[in-house]
Amino acid sequence: MLTTNPHEDDTLHEECGIFGISGATDAARLVALGLHALQHRGQEAAGITSFDGVEFHTHRAMGHVAGNFDREDIMVPLRGSVACGHVRYSTTGETALRNVQPLYADLASGGFAIAHNGNISNAMRLRRDLVRRGSIFQSTSDTETIIHLVATSNYRTTVDKFIDALKRVEGAYSLIVMTPEGMIACRDPLGIRPLVMGKIDGPDGGSIIFASETVALDVVGATFVRSIDPGELVMVKGTEITSHRPFPQVAARPCIFEYVYFSRPDSISEDRSVYTVRKAIGAQLAIESPVDADLVIPVPDSGTPAALGYAQESGIPFELGIIRSHYVGRTFIQPSDKVRHLGVKLKHNANRALIAGKKIVLIDDSIVRGTTSLKIVEMMREAGAAEVHMRIASPPTRHSCFYGVDTPERAKLLAATKNLEQMADYIKADSLAFISIHGLYKALGEPQRNAIRPSHCDACFTGDYPTSLTDQDDVSSVDQFALLAERVI
Ligand SMILES: O=P(O)(O)OC[C@H]1O[C@H](OP(=O)(O)OP(=O)(O)O)[C@H](O)[C@@H]1O
Ligand SMILES: NC(=O)CC[C@H](N)C(=O)O
Ligand code: SF4
Ligand SMILES: [Mg+2]
């Protein structure tokens, strides 16, 4: 089985996006639109499952939503008034069709389709146990463990089986599930990954929608109803909506990186505009790390709102000194270091006329490996910049994510192996500064990070993981045994 990164490959991907709708004519077409708005969350593969009241229909494909789900030969068979879909960046299981979601199985209780954003941090342990007891896996995805747990649960109703399964799962999951009885949406008890509910009014009770981000509601003309609460499970049967809270209540820890990078800036997350938070992060960065410069230049795309905030706070003019090609995907998805470097070059180009002779401050949202920063600083110097200062709208990323973001192994995170000065040298900047962790929380409207009860997951900055990491612990104990064995030999 291919395991959770960072242990078996070094590609840095990001998240997944999920979308489900119940009670709509041509539900699958609306799912395709919703997935299109969530494309930034996953560009490896996409899939849609629909239910026509009798049968489930699924199409899953490698690549983007456009090019697959805009084809009549693919859309016509996806009949029914209930459908859900997924855009994928893999975190567990290789990039192959068998791992593309929604995953589907025929259970004793009927069809069961599941779309998952997140990562189950005890999936390998569960899988080993299930296989020992006779489960036959069709994929290497962590998500499939949930299907087997439901299939083998002794509870009677599908909802109870599903809850029973979730109680054995640890890590991060926002899920949309389809069964003949209805659609279920749920979030893990800490609410690490986002999930919102919307509606489209109509004569027969209209449609209910679940989506990773509010932008996916906008695209289908739906109105936002509310977020699914951490630990909540919402079931939609026709026009009847029921809410279940099967887990003991704990303080929520939604992912703070959604504000930094993952979510689209036009999304609303936990009642906050992502765009406004990004600008506030930039303003806070200007307060914490001012610099004497002629121009503030964003590293497009995701550095732009923070750069605007930095410029407005500092009074330094904001200019588009780097132009981005919109025909190249996020560098996160490039499959090897070699291609990743090429990707960055293809993607960004210096606006030479503006840069020459200027002292510039570049703003990006994050440094992961440092590939982007290194290239961009070099590009600015080649374009004749007099000084190049780099300011980063997140704290140093020092730890890997095990909750649905495919960060590389720790050793490949620039900030895990280098101090500030070494990082500045590496990217060849005249100066480098990151926003502080307290500053990041200030931008969210809190006085500082609450060390005892942080309001968000920020483990990639702090190493403070809010769940157990069973599979990682297993891997380290295997490593320790290997080490012991070597010593014995
Ligand atoms: O240090 P690195 O390993 O280069 O990773 C960090 C970069 O990756 C992301 O951008 P990306 O190009 O993926 O997407 P964007 O166009 O949305 O900014 C992020 O915004 C940083 O610019
Ligand atoms: N990024 C994600 O949310 C991935 C979902 C799931 N863990 C997979 O690898 O398919
Ligand atoms: S480790 Fe980082 S990216 Fe992963 S869920 Fe936590 S804050 Fe988000
Ligand atoms: Mg970027």
Q: Does the CB atom of residue 260 touch ligand 3 within 6 A?
A: no
Q: Does the CB atom of residue 257 touch ligand 3 within 6 A?
A: yes
| pLDDT bracket for residue 445 (50, 70, 90) | very high
Of the two residues 73 and 407, the one the predictor is more confident about is: 73
How large a percentage of the chain has pLDDT more than 70? 91
pLDDT of the residue at 203: 87
pLDDT of the residue at 4: 41
Q: Does the CB atom of residue 229 touch ligand 1 within 6 A?
A: no
Cα–Cα dist 123/100, whole Å: 17
| pLDDT bracket for residue 480 (50, 70, 90) | low
Q: Whose CA is nearest to atom 14 of ligand 1?
A: 330
Cα–Cα dist 115/207, whole Å: 19
- CATH architecture of the domain with residue range 17-253: 4-Layer Sandwich (3.60)
pLDDT of the residue at 336: 56
Measured from the Cβ of residue 468, the count of other Cβ atoms closer than 10 Å reads: 12
Cα–Cα dist 101/119, whole Å: 13
Ligand nearest to the CA of 40: 1
pLDDT of the residue at 8: 36
Cα–Cα dist 92/406, whole Å: 9
CA distances 376 to 12, 242, 299, 300, 351, Å, are 19, 51, 8, 11, 12
Q: Residue 102 pLDDT > 50, yes or no?
A: yes
Mean pLDDT to the nearest integer, 194-220 = 96
Our CA angle for 188, 19, 4, nearest 5°, is: 50
Mean pLDDT to the nearest integer, 452-477 = 92
The answer to whether 157 and 219 have CB atoms below 8 angstroms apart is: no
Strand-strand pairing, 207-211 and 196-200: antiparallel
Average pLDDT along the chain? 92
pLDDT of the residue at 10: 36
Q: Does the CB atom of residue 149 touch ligand 1 within 6 A?
A: no
The answer to whether 363 and 393 have CB atoms below 8 angstroms apart is: yes
Domains of the chain, residue spans: 17-253, 267-462
Q: Residue 394 pLDDT > 90, yes or no?
A: yes
322-346, pLDDT tens digit by residue?
Answer: 999 887 765 544 545 666 556 566 7
| pLDDT bracket for residue 1 (50, 70, 90) | very low
> For the chain, how many residues are written?
489
The answer to whether 100 and 449 have CB atoms below 8 angstroms apart is: no
Q: Residue 21 pLDDT > 90, yes or no?
A: yes
Cα–Cα dist 121/308, whole Å: 37
- Residue in 33, 36, 21 with CA at minimum distance from that of residue 81: 21
Q: Does the CB atom of residue 301 touch ligand 1 within 6 A?
A: yes
Q: Residue 109 pLDDT > 80, yes or no?
A: yes
- Compute and round to an integer the Cα radius of gyration of the chain: 23
pLDDT of the residue at 340: 58
121-147, pLDDT tens digit by residue?
Answer: 999 999 999 999 999 999 999 999 999
For ligand 1, the distance from its centroid to the CA atom of residue 474, given in whole angstroms, is: 31
Query: Of the ranges 226-235, 325-334, 337-346, 480-489, which is most confident?
Result: 226-235
For ligand 3, the distance from its centroid to the CA atom of residue 136, given in whole angstroms, is: 31
Beta-bridge partner residues of 220? none
* Residue 186 is a catalytic residue: no
147-205, pLDDT tens digit by residue?
Answer: 999 999 999 999 999 999 999 999 999 999 999 999 999 999 999 999 999 999 998 88
Residue type, 309: G
Q: Residue 107 pLDDT > 60, yes or no?
A: yes
**Binding site residues, as ranges?**
255, 302, 364-365, 401, 457, 460
Closest approach atom of ligand 1 to CA 371: 4
pLDDT of the residue at 331: 52
Strand-strand pairing, 45-51 and 56-62: antiparallel
pLDDT of the residue at 346: 77
Cα–Cα dist 409/315, whole Å: 39
Our CA angle for 333, 88, 278, nearest 5°, is: 65
Question: What is the distance, to the nearest Å, from the Cα of residue 477 to the centroid of all Cα atoms in its chain?
Answer: 28
Position of tokens 């780099």? 390
Mean pLDDT to the nearest integer, 205-231 = 97
**Which CATH number is correct for 267-462, 3.40.50.2020, 3.90.180.10, 3.30.565.10, 3.40.50.1970?**
3.40.50.2020
Position of tokens 């609460």? 229
Mean pLDDT to the nearest integer, 466-475 = 91
pLDDT of the residue at 347: 84
36-57, pLDDT tens digit by residue?
Answer: 999 999 999 999 999 999 999 9
Cα–Cα dist 353/186, whole Å: 51
Strand-strand pairing, 348-350 and 359-364: unpaired
The answer to whether 69 and 37 have CB atoms below 8 angstroms apart is: no
- Residue in 16, 191, 30 with CA at minimum distance from that of residue 116: 16
**Binding site residues for [4Fe-4S] cluster, as ranges?**
255, 401, 457, 460
Q: What is the pTM for the complete model shown?
A: 0.94
Catalytic member of 3, 14, 16, 195: 16
- Largest Cα–Cα distance in the chain? 75
266-300, pLDDT tens digit by residue?
Answer: 999 999 999 999 999 999 999 999 999 999 999 99
Residue 197's Cβ-count burial label (10 Å; 0-12, 13-18, 19+) is buried
Cα–Cα dist 360/214, whole Å: 35
Beta-bridge partner residues of 224? 198
Question: Which of 97, 100, 117 should be mutated for ligand 2, with most atoms under 8 A from CB?
Answer: 117
How large a percentage of the chain has pLDDT more than 90? 86
- Residue in 104, 177, 179 with CA at minimum distance from that of residue 139: 104
Q: Residue 429 pLDDT > 50, yes or no?
A: yes
Mean pLDDT to the nearest integer, 380-404 = 97
Closest approach atom of ligand 2 to CA 101: 10
pLDDT of the residue at 330: 57
For ligand 4, the distance from its centroid to the CA atom of residue 394, given in whole angstroms, is: 12
Q: Residue 475 pLDDT > 90, yes or no?
A: no
